[in-house]
Amino acid sequence: MGIPINVGVIGCGAIIAQYLTNFRRLDSINLVAVADLDPARAQAVADSYDGVRALTVDQLLAADDVELVLNLTIPAAHADIALKAIAAGKSVYGEKPLAATTGEAREVLDAAAAAGVVVGCAPDTVLGTGIQTARKAIDDGLIGAPVSATATMATPGHERWHPNPDFYYQPGGGPLLDMGPYYVSALVTLLGPVVSVVGAASHTRSERTIGSGPREGQKVPVDIDSHVTGVLVHASGALSTLFMSFDAVKTKSPNIEVHGQTGSLIVPDPNHFDGDVQLFALGAEEWETLPVSAGYVDSGRGFGIADLAATPAGQEPRAGGQLAFHALEVMESVLDSAKTGQSVAIKSTVARPASVELAELSTGVRA
């Protein structure tokens, strides 16, 4: 792959707008084509972005000028589209989770390894200044050896704002698989890989009501646990407590806290790219906001693809398939543990991705 990298997008739904905004700011990304099961959605994107053509999925997979397929379909389709793209010789970068199950995700990674193509996966929020500044604070010893973390995500449910929220309530969705990738990827970035988990989960309602758009008022069935808690045991010995809920109204707790023997750290929302990192050092009188010291400045969804394009051949990209697989195995195992009541050992492991120096990737806005 060269820079700029030629990207074709499959899946032109709610999230593509954020990628388009950022692709206009990233010289290293050249969007060439888009496709969707609904041709009108692909055409609307092509009409809005200079030089982009709307294709069918098969045409996009066969297009010679597409080097990397950005997979923005729903979770249930992630593996199928990724495998088709890999079979066509393309690298892939997918929205999270990597696949609906670790079984499917393993097939994707194995197929990519056999084909010699690269797998990247959201979230790339961990490359922004928020998580990277927190990571640097930990690596610089500002809290001493990390002992524990809490990760809290509380919302009444995405059906309140998403016009087609069905997939959030089907296998592959739920608060953990939907929002957990941000939190688990951040926790692994901050504290390293996970070796075992325990979980507990609950299911409150069998239906949800769509709150916006043309289907407002329609009910969608709920086939997942909508409140999930868990404890992750990191290889370092640190323990992270997860709270992921579509059954809560609001929380004032920070999204992530990390505690060490000589300091406590408030880490900003891992679903955002920036935000303040706060430190309460042992013996201090109050919280101190740390200066931004690492990460891609003013970044957004899609910066992980620019990072992937700049990764030397043969090296795992930071927002890479291995991290996404590990995060998925951790989440799937929390849900398994919730069913069986037993602790689950995590088979995969992953190195903490290389830290990101404070850097500006965006170069201004194109048409």
Ligand X SMILES: NC(=O)c1ccc[n+]([C@@H]2O[C@H](COP(=O)([O-])OP(=O)(O)OC[C@H]3O[C@@H](n4cnc5c(N)ncnc54)[C@H](O)[C@@H]3O)[C@@H](O)[C@H]2O)c1
Give the binding site for ligand X (CB under 6 A). Answer: 10-15, 36-38, 41, 57, 72-75, 77, 81, 95-96, 164, 178
To which H or E segment does residue 39 belong? helix 39-48
Q: Which long-range contacts (CB under 8 A, 24 or more apart) does 155-162 make?
A: 155/179, 155/245, 155/246, 155/248, 156/246, 156/247, 156/248, 156/249, 157/208, 157/226, 157/246, 157/247, 158/246, 159/208, 159/209, 159/210, 159/211, 159/220, 160/211, 160/212, 161/211, 161/212, 162/14, 162/212
Q: How far is the CB of 92 from ligand X (least distance, A)?
A: 13
Q: How far is the CB of 164 from ligand X (least distance, A)?
A: 5
Q: How far is the CB of 37 from ligand X (least distance, A)?
A: 4
**Amino acid code (one letter) for 296:** Y
Nearer CB in complex with ligand X: 74/265: 74
Q: From residue 301, give the alpha-carbon distance in Å to each of 53, 127, 179.
A: 21, 10, 15
DSSP 182-236: HHHHHHHHHH--EEEEEEEEE---SEEE--SSTTTT-EEE--S-SEEEEEEEETT
Q: How far is the CB of 77 from ligand X (least distance, A)?
A: 4
Least distance from ligand X to the Cβ atom of residue 252, Å: 23
Minimum CB separation from ligand X for residue 35, in Å? 6
The nearest distance, CB 296 to ligand X, in angstroms, is 17
Q: Which of 174, 338, 197 is nearest to 247 (CA)?
A: 174
> Which residue in the shown chain puts its C-beta closest to ligand X?
13
Nearer to ligand X, 55 or 194 (CB): 55
In 10 A of CB 103, how many CB atoms? 10
